[in-house]
Amino acid sequence: MPHPSKKFMECLQYAAHKHRDQRRKDPQESPYVNHVINVSTILAVEAGIEDENVLMAALLHDVVEDTDASFADVEELFGGDICSLVREVTDDKTLEKQQRKRLQIANAAKTSSRAKLIKLADKLDNLRDLQINTPRGWTEERRVQYFVWAKQVVDQLRATNSILEEELDKIFKEQGLL
Ligand SMILES: Nc1nc2c(ncn2[C@@H]2O[C@H](COP(=O)(O)OP(=O)(O)O)[C@@H](OP(=O)(O)OP(=O)(O)O)[C@H]2O)c(=O)[nH]1
Ligand SMILES: [Mn+2]
């Protein structure tokens, strides 16, 4: 198979298209798609993950949660395995935010090890960003609480990938949480 595969490139293009009008909450208002590219790159380059469906699901990990794309769209375009990985890392946006946050802690340990990789890389990218920026509209207290909450989620994802967990632990140590 050629690398990157045609399917991988289509997936990247689909993520860029679906997130095209969305911006991150950093002061520069970076394109949202930068985040999903970061998550897939963390997995491929830092963690050495070669499971291409995991790398593609990382590109799509926020596409159902944050755009008009549906699980049916993802399944039709990219197949059942990628769709089920995306499903495992997607929050139910019909629930209240506090409930969603609680459920991430409660459900993290039950997810598959491939979905755990995506969740670890997602938290790592968000936390790296929070070390540099306070998102627009966030108080300092909210920023601090995100580190506390993220550690509670990550603690339910342990023994999955030592490289990612060491990178996350560096951040938790710097924050005085470990
Ligand atoms: N650190 C950071 N995060 C930003 C920025 N812009 C958007 N986000 C997104 O905000 C989410 C975290 O903010 P919260 O207030 O906790 O969640 P919410 O968006 O669901 O309300 C993350 O969603 P997520 O990826 O779905 O992950 P998570 O909700 O599982 O943490 C993250 O991707 C930014 O500039 N910096
Ligand atoms: Mn994300």
Which residue's CA is the nearest one to ligand 1's atom 33?
A: 126
Q: What is the pLDDT of residue 41?
A: 98
21 Cα–ligand 2 center, Å: 16
CA of 2 to the centre of ligand 1 (A): 34
Confidence band for 3, pLDDT divided at 50, 70 and 90: confident
pLDDT-above-70 percentage for the chain:
99
Which of 126, 151, 152, 157 should be mutated for ligand 1, with most atoms under 8 A from CB?
A: 126
Residues forming the active site: 65-66
Note the pLDDT of residue 17: 98
**pLDDT interval class at 178 (50, 70, 90):** very high
- Shortest CA distance to 13 belongs to which of 40, 43, 39, 33? 33
Residue range 74-117, pLDDT digits in tens = 999 999 999 999 999 999 999 999 999 999 999 999 999 999 99
Residue 54: pLDDT over 80: yes
pLDDT at 119 over 80: yes
Q: Distance of CA 90 to CAs 11, 93, 111, 112, 141, Å? A: 17, 9, 11, 13, 25
**CATH number, domain 6-174:** 1.10.3210.10
